[in-house]
Amino acid sequence: MGVLLILFLLIIVASSLFYLWQLSAVGERNQSSARLFEQSLLGSLTQYDYIPSLLIKDKELNQFLQSSQQDHLQLSEKLKFIAEKSGVDDIYVLNHQGNAITTSNYQKKGSFLGKNYAFRPYFKLAKSSLKKQYYFAKGVTTGIRGFFISEPIVVRGQFLGVVVAKIVLDEWEQKWQSSKQNILVSDDQGIVILSANPEWKYRSIGVLKDAVKEKIKLLNQFPNETHESLYSDDYSVSFLNEAEQNVWTVDQNTYVVNQFPIKTVNWTLYHLDNQSNILLQTLWFMLSSFIVAAISYLLWLERSSRLLLRRESREAERARRAELQKVLDNIHIGVLVFDQGGKVLSMNDHAEYLLDHQQNIIHKDQFYVQELIDIELNTDEFDQFLQDNIALPTYHETQTCSQSAENKAIPVMFSVGKITQQGDIVYLMTVINITKRIEAEQGLMLMNESLEEKVEQRTLELKEIQAALMQKNRTTALGNMAATIVHELSQPLAAINSSVAAAQAKVLKENWQGVTESLQRLSPLSKKMTNVIGLLKSYSYEDESLVEEILFTQLVQQAIDVLHDRFSTENVKVEFNSDFPDAWVRVNPIKIDLAISNLLKNAMDAVEGQEGALIQVSIQNDDKGSVVLEVQDNGGGIDKAILDKLFNPYFTTKEVGKGMGLGLSITGEVIQEHDGIIDVKNTELGACFHIHLPLSKSDRNSINEVTESRIEENVE
How far is Cα 218 from Cα 119, in angstroms, rounded to an integer? 9
684-702 pLDDT, tens digit per residue, is 989 999 999 999 875 344 4
SS3 assignment, position 122: helix
Using an 8 Å Cβ cutoff, are 190 and 204 in contact? yes
Which region among 277-291, 468-482, 655-669, 682-696 has the lowest average model confidence (pLDDT)?
468-482
User: Which tens digits make up the pLDDT trace of 423-444?
Assistant: 788 888 888 888 888 888 777 7
Return the amino acid letter for 446. Answer: L
**Is pLDDT at 333 greater than 50 in this prediction?**
yes
Q: What percent of the chain has pLDDT over 90?
A: 13
Is pLDDT at 301 greater than 90 in this prediction? no
| Mean pLDDT, residues 451-478 | 63
Element at 661 (helix H, strand E): none
User: What pairing do the DSSP bridges indicate for beta strands 267-274 and 253-262?
Assistant: antiparallel
Per-residue model confidence (pLDDT) at position 482 = 56
Q: What is the mean pLDDT of residues 553-575?
A: 89
Nearest to 361 by CA among 328, 407, 397: 407
User: What is the pLDDT averaged over residues 111-140?
Assistant: 88
At 495, the amino acid letter reads A
Q: Which whole number is the average pLDDT over 289-294?
A: 80
> Is the pLDDT confidence value at 632 over 90?
yes
pLDDT tens, 29-40?
666 666 777 777
Cα(353)–Cα(336) distance, rounded to whole angstroms? Answer: 12
Q: Which residue has the higher pLDDT, 240 or 495?
A: 495
At residue 405, φ and ψ (nearest 5 deg) are -65, -30
Return the amino acid letter for 2: G
In DSSP terms, which residues pair with 148 in a beta bridge?
135, 166
Superfamily of domain covering 50-168: PAS domain (3.30.450.20)
Binned at pLDDT 50, 70 and 90, residue 406 comes out as low
Measured in degrees and rounded to the nearest 5, phi and psi for residue 180 equal 55, 40
Quick check: 318 pLDDT over 60? Answer: yes
Contacts of 631 (CB under 8 A, 6+ apart): 599, 600, 603, 615, 616, 617, 688, 689
Beta carbons within 10 angstroms of residue 561's beta carbon:
14
DSSP character at residue 646: T
Just give the CATH number of 331-442. 3.30.450.20
Q: How many CB atoms lie within 10 A of CB 66?
A: 11
Pick from 6-10, 508-512, 604-608, 697-701 the range whose average pLDDT is largest: 604-608
Partner residues linked to 103 by β-bridges: 92
β-partners of residue 273 are 256
pLDDT at 65 over 50: yes
Query: Rounded mean pLDDT of the chain?
Result: 78
Buried b (16+ CB within 10 A) or exposed e, 174-207: eebeeeeebbbbbbebbbbbbbbbeebbbbbbee
pLDDT reported for residue 640 = 85
Determine the length of the chain.
716
Distances from the Cα of 125 to the Cα of 51, 102, 152, 221, 340, angstroms: 19, 21, 9, 15, 99
Lowest mean pLDDT among 133-142, 575-584, 641-650: 641-650
Domain boundaries, the chain: 50-168, 331-442, 542-715
- Percentage of the chain beyond pLDDT 70 is 76
- What pLDDT, on the 0 to 100 scale, is given for residue 448? 74
pLDDT for res 359: 64
Q: State residue 573's pLDDT score.
A: 93
Say if 331-442 and 542-715 have the same CATH topology.
no
Relative orientation angle of helices 589-606 and 552-562, to the nearest 10 degrees? 50
Say which range, 25-29, 514-518, 538-542, 681-685, has the weakest mean pLDDT: 538-542
pLDDT at 707: 44
Q: Is the pTM of this model over 0.85?
A: no
How sure is the predictor about 123, in pLDDT bands with cuts at 50, 70 and 90?
Answer: very high
Q: Which parts of 259-390 fold into alpha helices (H)?
A: 275-330, 349-355, 379-390
Pairing of strands 573-578, 614-621: parallel
* Cα 401 to Cα 396: distance, rounded to the nearest angstrom: 15
| Separation of first and last alpha carbons in the chain | 113
The pLDDT of 309-334, averaged and rounded, is 75
pLDDT tier at 450, thresholds 50, 70, 90: low
Whole-number Å distance between alpha carbons of 219 and 191? 14
In this structure, how many other beta carbons lie within 10 angstroms of the beta carbon of residue 715? 7
Distances (CA, A) of 275 to 30, 253, 280: 14, 8, 8
Q: Does pLDDT of 708 surpass 70? A: no
Looking at per-residue pLDDT, the higher value among 599 and 222 belongs to 599
DSSP 547: -
Is 716's pLDDT higher than 50? Answer: no
| Greatest mean pLDDT range, 392-401, 509-518, 665-674 | 665-674
- C-alpha 48/C-alpha 91 separation (Å) is 11
> What homologous superfamily does CATH list for 542-715?
Histidine kinase-like ATPase, C-terminal domain (3.30.565.10)
Beta-sheet strands, E only, within 660-709: 677-682, 687-694
> Which tens digit of pLDDT belongs to each residue from 184-199?
888 888 888 888 787 8
Of 319 and 79, the structure prediction assigns the larger pLDDT to: 79
Burial 321-333 (b: 16+ CB within 10 A, else e): eeeeeeebeeeee
What radius of gyration, in Å, describes the C-alpha atoms of the chain? 55
Could you give the C-alpha distances from 45 to 137, 187, 263, in angstroms and in order?
Answer: 14, 14, 13
Identify the pLDDT of residue 711: 41
Give the residue from 616, 592, 603, 593 showing the smallest Cα distance to 693: 592
Q: Give yes or no for a contact between 390 and 373, defined as CB atoms under 8 angstroms apart.
A: no
Window from 245-254, 479-488, 568-577 with minimum mean pLDDT = 479-488
Has residue 541 got a pLDDT over 50? no
